[in-house]
Amino acid sequence: MAKKKIAIFGAGGHGKVLLDILLESGAAVAGFLDDDPKKAGAVVCGLKVLGGFAFLEGKTSSLSLALGIGDNKIRRKIYEKATAAGVEVVSAVHPRAFVSRLATVGRGAAIMAGAVVNACAMIGEGAVVNTGATVDHDCRLERFCQLWPGAHLAGTVRVGEASYIGTGASVIPNITIGKDVVVGAGAAVVSDIADCTVVVGVPARPVRKDAS
């Protein structure tokens, strides 16, 4: 059976990074998908925007899907829609990231160049470890959360579903971060964070609560 080609959902900046990861990994990429009608037929990094999600209809045997969406909640929505439609969702791990053989990486996850994922860490479905971010031993990144570039988690940190850890932020060991949390750029997290909280600063302090 011929190997499936991969379509990347999302023809923006995050999708471009996914394209680079897949090409560096030797994958065959069919093109981009995007539900923005203004992007239909556009050429991005030499590949065509083939259409929206509906393009996948009837092609589940020949195409799989990579998640090129930076927004956590939209990425989750596309993942769930694809899964319900029987579309295979693949992960994308840059060959110049370090991922321990003792770590686990869920479907639809993305690990960018220069990232480090250490022993016994768990990267959940659709989670993103961005450029140069580090995840130390025994950390748990729940589904669809995201570490922005240069964020660093010490050992045994748990990050809840759909949370963001901002660029250059750091988290000390044994911290639990709830779901739908935003940790601001450069923040230093030294205590647990409740669900739906935005924190900033050194040390990180709450500035508001958001609805989930």
Residue 94 annotated in active site: no
Q: What is the pTM of this model?
A: 0.94
Q: Kindly report, residue by residue over 45-61, the tens digit of the pLDDT.
A: 999 999 999 999 999 99
Specify if 169 maps to a domain: yes
My answer on whether 126 and 176 are in the same domain is yes
Q: What number is the average pLDDT over the span 62-71?
A: 97
Strand order in the sheet with 197-200: 92-93, 110-111, 128-129, 146-147, 164-165, 182-183, 197-200, 205-209
Per-residue pLDDT, 11: 96
Residue that is last in its domain, among 90, 120, 146 = 90
Residue 56's CATH number: 3.40.50.20
Residue 140's CATH number: 2.160.10.10
Phi, psi of 101 (to 5 degrees): -65, -15
Cβ atoms of residues 193 and 181 within 8 Å? yes
The total domain count for the chain is: 2
Specify if 208 maps to a domain: no
Residue that is last in its domain, among 38, 68, 90 = 90
Residue that is last in its domain, among 39, 66, 90 = 90
Phi, psi of 160 (to 5 degrees): -75, 170
Specify if 51 maps to a domain: yes
Helix (H) or strand (E) holding 78: helix 72-84
Domain assignment of residue 166, given as a range: 93-198
